[in-house]
């Protein structure tokens, strides 16, 4: 076998126009005659025109995209077809769907590869690369011809028209037509990389972008070319399309003949600059007619006889809205706070600003629990969870006290002889009876909590994690707003929710009732306890949300909140994680801080850490 030539992922950067390599010019494909806009040209010439058209100076964008946002985080909470902070492919599987996840959206970010292509109607870009799930989703999208929403970030180098810098824009619905493998440079190494081709779905109507930009796609119009060439590899027996003018190659990344020309040499990247127009400009016939939704998410409309908050909170309505008002404003407007009742578009709409009122009503606990998933069973055993953390437990006592079954767990470790965990399992009375937890859940929603007092009088306060501003690390703007209660949909980054609540003296009656309830629980677990709770955190879990706690053991006084904390969680089933402070070993942290505090007894690996 002749030696395979090494290649890079960078096309030759010439100051003048791109010169066609000899390997391409002498290819049999190059000389095939075709008719383009009434003129006879070779496939090579047509390919060169297509290459040049997407590397011209971008045309100015005069029209407004269907949806546009200056914040990726805001955009992902607003549109249902792209809900991740990362670029690339977005897949999703709802609880009602059967089978694998569905490919719903694609974000083309600033960073591009040399062979990426976008003329407005046809896209060639990097395909699935996050495991087999994405590959399956793309394959399903090809087979079903499911429309995919394509978004583009301002500054995308291959766009034929220019977007505002640092904006995120929705283009149109596209279908995925092909998926193959190429050798591309990833992390300074050449690796087989999945690539896909997409077509704009509705070509019977012109796109929203201006005519001058649309001309780019019409320099080499789609259709009118001979059928694309498809051959079967003799080594892997898998078919591959001829993607490039230079020659046909096997595009199966697992094949031993992958990425070899007919002469069994690897192509140079300049040889791959020109796509075969028969493949690039083909028009796919739609065999499956999917209903294409509106790119602008509709406003929430309650149905007669249905609690509007149920639909509104459990579907897509707890998001921002897209302003579709006068003047072509399609700006994404984030939902700020539930208590405000209405949101307003920040763009200038003259004397009549655009605003929206949203329904608000009281939810019962049953509204938050799906009918197909009643809370009748128990999760993982507490014993299993503790033992997994490296501690052994003994169920010392089990008693029945009124409406609760109380189980007290102690530790085998003699160092933890005074520590215990008390688990109370209630019957229906404390849940569904008068003044029970279910009634508390409704009262919490209706209560007026008054203004936020950042001073925390007397070191005692309560917090309600609803409408709270969140500081989001890694977000575009640093600060965003939670969509409802504590849940932040679509954000792939960790965040902290922060809200300084009023003092107990200013609290409504329901807060005092809950404090008494928690004190009752405390007395059942520790009859000799004398101190009152001085901080209360209330959280309403939504679907699949969770919360992480830590040992808040600051000293009482000053701005500290003290170490007697209670937490009451109501709503959907939620995962709670407990950890103890002082995770560090003795020594310096990565930030250079010296840690010399002893680890808390019973915390993870505390004995080992104590020896250091």
Is the pLDDT at 218 greater than 70? The verdict is: no
- 363-396: pLDDT as tens digits: 666 655 544 333 334 444 555 655 555 556 665 6
Is the pLDDT at 550 greater than 50? The verdict is: no
Q: Which pLDDT belongs to residue 252?
A: 96
Q: Which pLDDT belongs to residue 325?
A: 62
CA-CA distance, 249 to 260, in Å (whole number)? 6
In the predicted model, what is the mean pLDDT of residues 215-236?
83
Residues sharing a CB contact under 8 Å with residue 408, sequence separation 6 or more, in sequence order? 395, 396, 397, 398, 420, 421, 422, 423, 525
Asked which of 71-85, 90-104, 218-232 is least confident by mean pLDDT, the reply is 90-104
Q: Which domains does the chain have, with CATH numbers?
A: 22-280 (2.30.280.10), 308-357 (no CATH), 382-579 (no CATH)
- State both tokens at 155: 């500054």
Asked which of 3-17, 203-217, 307-321 is least confident by mean pLDDT, the reply is 3-17
The three state secondary structure string of 436-483 is CHHHHHHHHHHCCCCCCCCCCHHHCEEEECCCCEEEECCCCCCEEECC
Q: Which pLDDT belongs to residue 227?
A: 92
Q: Which pLDDT belongs to residue 384?
A: 60
pTM above 0.85, yes or no: no
CA-CA distance, 32 to 575, in Å (whole number)? 64
In the predicted model, what is the mean pLDDT of residues 199-208?
83
CA-CA distance, 555 to 563, in Å (whole number)? 7
| Structure-model confidence comparison of residues 461 and 297, the more confident one | 297
Is the pLDDT at 503 greater than 80? The verdict is: no
In the predicted model, what is the mean pLDDT of residues 289-300?
76
- State both tokens at 283: 């028009």
Asked which of 307-316, 382-391, 596-605 is least confident by mean pLDDT, the reply is 307-316
- 424-435: pLDDT as tens digits: 888 888 888 888
- 551-598: pLDDT as tens digits: 444 444 444 445 566 666 666 555 555 555 545 556 666 677 776 666
Average predicted confidence (pLDDT) for the chain: 71
Percent of the chain past pLDDT 70, that is, above it, reads: 59
Q: Which pLDDT belongs to residue 442?
A: 80
Q: Are 345 and 325 in contact (CB under 8 A)?
A: yes
Q: Which pLDDT belongs to residue 320?
A: 64
Q: Which pLDDT belongs to residue 345?
A: 75
CA-CA distance, 74 to 479, in Å (whole number)? 11
Q: Which pLDDT belongs to residue 496?
A: 39
pLDDT band at 247 (very low <50, low <70, confident <90, very high): very high
Q: Are 332 and 78 in contact (CB under 8 A)?
A: yes
Residue 267 vs residues 5, 10, 21, 253, 258: alpha-carbon distances, Å = 7, 13, 11, 15, 11
Give the best-scoring range by mean pLDDT among 36-45, 403-412, 415-424, 497-506: 36-45
Q: Are 56 and 17 in contact (CB under 8 A)?
A: no
- 32-76: pLDDT as tens digits: 998 887 889 999 999 998 888 878 777 777 778 888 888 787 787
């Amino acid at each position: 076998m002749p030696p395979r030539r090494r290649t890079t992922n960078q096309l030759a950067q010439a100051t003048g126009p791109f010169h066609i390599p000899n390997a391409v010019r002498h290819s049999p494909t190059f000389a095939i005659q075709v008719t383009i806009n009434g003129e006879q040209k070779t496939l090579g010439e047509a390919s060169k025109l297509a290459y040049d058209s997407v590397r011209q100076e971008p045309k100015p964008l005069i029209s407004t995209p269907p949806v546009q946002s200056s914040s990726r985080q805001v955009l992902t909470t607003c549109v249902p077809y792209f809900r991740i902070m990362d670029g690339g492919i977005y897949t999703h599987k709802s609880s009602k769907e059967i089978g694998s996840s569905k490919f719903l959206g694609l974000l083309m970010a600033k960073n591009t590869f040399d062979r990426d292509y976008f003329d407005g109607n046809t896209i060639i870009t990097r395909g699935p690369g996050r495991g087999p799930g994405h590959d399956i989703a793309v394959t399903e999208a090809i087979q079903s011809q499911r429309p995919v929403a394509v978004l583009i970030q301002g500054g995308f180098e291959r766009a034929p028209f220019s977007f505002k810098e640092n904006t995120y824009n929705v283009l149109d619905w596209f279908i995925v037509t092909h998926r193959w493998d190429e050798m591309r440079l990833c992390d300074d190494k050449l690796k087989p990389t999945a690539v896909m081709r997409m077509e704009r779905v509705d070509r019977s109507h012109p796109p929203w972008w201006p005519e001058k930009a649309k001309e780019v796609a019409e320099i080499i119009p789609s259709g009118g070319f001979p059928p694309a060439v498809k051959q079967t590899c003799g080594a892997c027996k898998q078919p591959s399309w001829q993607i490039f003018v230079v020659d046909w190659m096997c595009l199966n990344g697992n094949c031993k003949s992958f990425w070899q020309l007919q002469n069994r040499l690897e192509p140079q990247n300049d040889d791959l600059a020109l796509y075969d127009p028969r493949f690039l400009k083909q028009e796919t016939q739609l065999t499956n007619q999917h209903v294409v939704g509106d790119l602008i998410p509709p406003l929430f409309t309650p149905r007669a006889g249905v609690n509007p908050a149920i639909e509104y909170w459990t579907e897509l309505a707890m998001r921002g809205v897209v302003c579709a008002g006068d003047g072509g404003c399609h700006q994404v407007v984030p939902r700020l706070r539930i208590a405000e009742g209405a949101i307003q578009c920040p763009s200038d709409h003259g004397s009549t600003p655009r605003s929206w009122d949203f329904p608000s009503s009281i939810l019962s606990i049953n509204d938050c629990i799906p009918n197909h998933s009643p809370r009748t069973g128990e999760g993982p055993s507490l014993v299993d969870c503790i033992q997994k953390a490296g501690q052994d437990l003994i169920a010392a006592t089990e008693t029945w006290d009124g409406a609760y079954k109380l189980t007290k767990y102690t530790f085998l470790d003699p160092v933890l002889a005074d520590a215990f965990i008390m688990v109370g399992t209630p019957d229906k009375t404390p849940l569904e009876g008068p003044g029970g937890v279910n009634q508390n859940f409704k009262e919490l929603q209706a209560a007026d909590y008054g203004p936020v007092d950042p001073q925390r009088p007397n070191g005692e306060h309560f917090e309600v994690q609803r409408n709270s501003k969140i500081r989001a690390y890694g977000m575009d703007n640093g600060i965003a707003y939670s969509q409802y209660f504590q849940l932040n949909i679509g954000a792939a980054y960790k965040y902290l929710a922060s809200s300084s609540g009023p003092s107990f003296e200013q609290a409504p009656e329901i807060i005092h009732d809950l404090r008494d309830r928690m004190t009752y629980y405390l007395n059942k677990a520790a009859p000799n306890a004398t101190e009152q709770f001085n901080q209360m955190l209330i959280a309403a879990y939504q679907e699949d949300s969770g919360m992480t706690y830590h040992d808040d053991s600051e000293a009482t006084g000053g701005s500290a909140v003290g170490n007697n904390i209670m937490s009451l969680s109501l709503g959907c089933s939620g995962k709670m994680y407990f950890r103890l402070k002082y995770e560090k070993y003795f020594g310096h942290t990565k930030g250079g801080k010296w840690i010399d505090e002893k680890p808390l007894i019973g915390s993870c690996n505390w004995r080992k850490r104590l020896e250091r």
